[in-house]
Amino acid sequence: MIILAFESTCDETAVAVVRDGRTVLADAILSQADMHALYGGVVPEIASRKHVEAIAGLTDQALAEAGITKKDVDAVAVSYAPGLIGAVLVGVSFAKSVAYALGVPLIPVHHIRGHIAANYIAFPDLQPPFLALAISGGNTLIVDVKDYTDMEILGSTRDDAAGECFDKAGRVLGLPYPGGKPMDLLAQQSQGGKYDLPRAHVSGCELDMSFSGLKTAVVNLAHNAQQKGEKLDAAALARDFTRAVSDELVPRAIAAAKQSGRTVIAAAGGVAANSIIRADLEEACRREGIRLYLPPLKLCGDNGAMIGAQAYYEYLAGQTAPLDLNAYATMELSEATF
């Protein structure tokens, strides 16, 4: 089954062609990050307009790359939630029109389910059940993936997402948007151990996380240093910050796996590209005898292939949408059923 998949929930316009949920025939992506970097973060209105400009051309590019024509497409998939509403609407409207024009089913895909499914592309042997650590710019979730379309959230952030925290910390350190990758590179230049940053604990909900206190601590450190005319050791701060984020994520992922009896963890989302978090996950999983799947860096960030991968399993589960499908800014991944 050949699925043409669309992703436009934030600042990447992506169109992919995926066969049977596992084989990527084309994955065309246009990132707007440089444009938003001028403003230090994503400007929703600009994101929507850029998606409109890019999506048709990327579709032609993806079909050409896959070596197929429109009539070879068996179904159309789209990331319909969660995300910046104007941005998501562009992908949903375009996908609906393509599905209508081609007379093929329309498959709605929850964006985070897509991130998790990136692992199906990278690891042909991976099958549910497993535990997913989904860490991106807008979401931070520990998910029990019981089956391809049956998922339960075991833990989540109570406030900011891990990626947002990286981006804000990067901004106060004067790094370009998005801050995650530059923070990663900076952190690799130091052993840290210089800044004492907070680790949050959500009383009574051991698997929930919080990043807003950590974000505020870094912002305050930077502002205090600025006011006193002192210079921060940016590399040490990046390292200590990343260690604090990792301390929030990794032990909870392990605890969740133990609680739910899962012996496999799959990481997902842009923050799963972080070299320190990857190393910490590897070490913890080795120690606990848990099998770890870490997707290659290019499948961690937003892409269309992951939407096409999840769409295949949504389709097999009977999850197709009528042509009045709407876009949603927020939606729990366990709610994403039709």
Residue ranges binding ligand KG4 (CB under 6 A)? 10, 136-138, 163, 166-167, 178-181, 184, 269-271, 273-274, 301-302
**Minimum distance, C-beta of residue 72 to ligand KG4, in the bound complex (Å):** 29
For the CB of residue 25, give the shortest distance to ligand KG4 in the complex, in Å: 22
Closest CB to ligand KG4 among residues 8, 274 = 274
Which residue type does 259 have? Q
Find the shortest distance in angstroms from Cβ 132 to ligand KG4: 13
Residue 290 beta carbon to ligand KG4: minimum distance, rounded to whole angstroms: 22
- Residue among 167 and 248 whose Cβ is closer to ligand KG4: 167
Nearer to ligand KG4, 73 or 266 (CB): 266
**Which 3-state string (H, E, C) describes the chain?**
CEEEEEECCCCEEEEEEEECCCEEEEEEEEECHHHHHCCCCCCHHHHHHHHHHHHHHHHHHHHHHHCCCHHHCCEEEEEEECCCHHHHHHHHHHHHHHHHHHCCCEEEEEHHHHHHHHHHHHCCCCCCCEEEEEECCCCEEEEEEEECCEEEEEEEECCCCHHHHHHHHHHHCCCCCCCHHHHHHHHCCCCCCCCCCCCCCCCCCCCCECCHHHHHHHHHHHHHHHHHCCCCCHHHHHHHHHHHHHHHHHHHHHHHHHHHCCCEEEEECHHHHCHHHHHHHHHHHHHHCCEEECCCHHHHCCCCHHHHHHHHHHHHCCCCECCCCCCCCCCCCCCCCC
Q: Which is nearer to ligand KG4, 99 or 168 (CB)?
A: 168
The least CB distance from residue 89 to ligand KG4, in Å, is: 17
Among 113, 115, 121, 134, smallest CA distance to 265 is for: 134
Looking at residue 277, its amino acid is I
Nearer to ligand KG4, 260 or 274 (CB): 274
Q: Which is nearer to ligand KG4, 279 or 316 (CB)?
A: 279
Rounded to a whole number of angstroms, the minimum distance from the CB of residue 250 to ligand KG4 is 14
The nearer residue to ligand KG4, 2 or 122, going by C-beta atoms, is 122
CB of 69 to ligand KG4, least distance (A): 30
Count the neighbouring beta carbons within 10 Å of the beta carbon of residue 2.
Answer: 18
The nearest distance, CB 7 to ligand KG4, in angstroms, is: 9
**157 or 274: whose CB is closer to ligand KG4?**
274
